[in-house]
Structure 1
Amino acid sequence: MPTGIALRDARAQLLAAGERVLLRDGPAGLTSRIVTDEAGVAKGVLHRHFADFDDFLAALVRERIAAVGAMSVELSDRAGSGTVTGNLSTALARLFDPLGLALVRLVLYRDELRARLRPETPRGIPTLTEAVNSLADYLTAEQRVGRILPDAAPASLAQAVIGTGHLLFAGELGGLPDESAVHEVVEAIIVGAEPGAG
């Protein structure tokens, strides 16, 4: 049985190992045996920290959801500074980094995982739903300071930005988009919602 540091940090080791395996092998390659081997712990250690493998996977996704929540606060605090397009473009790059994309694929791949996450995300796709809410909150904050028109619909704009952003980062262009491609897509979506547009 592993002792010392390995046991004290086993939960964090397992989650970090799960992220590495997911990035390397994709959702189909993510098994409890491969994760425990990657973490360097006995298989039973995973079951001491998580009810079952889907509970472990749900913890991976919940960590990302928490990170999206933290990003949401930072993003809303930027209302009135920089440009709306620039702020949204930066947010998309953070949301759809390789791990973010891999977690979306994982959630779509495993029905049981989505079921486990329903209490936190009753509708939509976990991580994407929270991302939409994050951008909607930011756009609402920009609306309050006059950089988004009063009759614009922040939630609808956020859905369009996240949906299009996901397609773009998932390989719409045959690879990861560069900064100018992201900027161009975001600008095309929000241009009609900004004062002085048209």
Structure 2
Amino acid sequence: MPTGVAIRDVREQLFAAADRVLLRDGPSGLTSRAVTAEAGCAKGVLHRHFADFDDFLAAFVLDRVHRMDAQAAALRDSAGSGTVIGNLAAALSALFGSVAVAIVALVTFRDELRGRLRDTWPAGVPVLTEAVTMIADYLAAERGLGRLASGADVDGLAPTLIGAAHLLFADRRAAPPEPGAVHRMVTSVVGGLVREPPR
């Protein structure tokens, strides 16, 4: 790319390139050179916008976590419609079928990145902790509507669902699990607590 040519939305262009590299090559393949090559820009472009590569990675992870807000809102809004198990299975498949699983691997792979993230995200792995909150909020909404048992421990069920889903989707080299497998997992965790009429 010629010097002096402005790149529109540089951060998003670099983040989108990081998505592709991370999904294709995994955490070990995610380097500043790989990101800028994928984005089609000079390596210096990344370093003009970020203090160093770990600063870029921390901003990338937090940006992808904040993008989960729309997904969380959509799941919360689905309370009372469809089925509890169907809504959860679809949400977990969408979450873990995205770059989320690869970001979890990235955060656990890079010590310096975990250190940077602790400055703004003091507990847990950002994608997973946000996902737990998303699922807990949805379960609480369904409990409030009477479609989940009144005694359901949503703060215990949510991390159980996230952990079980992560195990199903963790092998990024293999094909994603069949929808039926996700549905069965969700049923095994919450099926006994669902109070909606059978369909």
Task: Say whether the fold is shared (TM-score over 0.5).
Answer: yes
- Check the 8 A contact 1:89/1:183 in 2, yes or no: yes
Residues 171 and 42 of structure 1: CA distance in aligned 2, closer, same or farther (over 3 Å): closer
Shift of 1:98: 4.5
Residues 121 and 193 of structure 1: CA distance in aligned 2, closer, same or farther (over 3 Å): farther
Matched residue, 1:3: 4
- Check the 8 A contact 1:114/1:126 in 2, yes or no: no
Superposed CA deviations along residues 122-145 of structure 1, whole A, max 9, x for unmatched, are 222110010001000000000110
Supply the AA of the counterpart residue of 2:51. Answer: A
Matched residue, 1:158: 158
Give structure 1 stretches of 5+ with no counterpart: none
Q: TM-score, normalised by structure 2?
A: 0.91
Matched residue, 2:53: 53
Please give the residue correspondences for 1:84-103 in structure 2 after superposition, counting only pairs within 5 Å.
Answer: 84-103=84-103
Q: TM-score, normalised by structure 1?
A: 0.91
Secondary structure at the residue paired with 1:127?
A: helix
Shift of 1:188: 0.6
Greater shift after overlay, 131-140 or 36-45?
Answer: 36-45
Shift of 1:195: 2.8
Identity %: 54
Runs of 4+ in 1 over 6 A off after TM superposition: none
CA–CA separation in structure 2 for the residues paired with 1:177 and 1:8: 37
Aligned residue pairs total: 195
Confirm whether residue 41 of structure 1 aligns to residue 41 of structure 2: yes
Which structure is higher in RCO with an 8 Å CA cutoff and minimum separation 6? 2
RMSD between aligned alpha carbons?
1.9
Supply the AA of the counterpart residue of 1:105. Answer: A
Supply the AA of the counterpart residue of 1:2. Answer: T
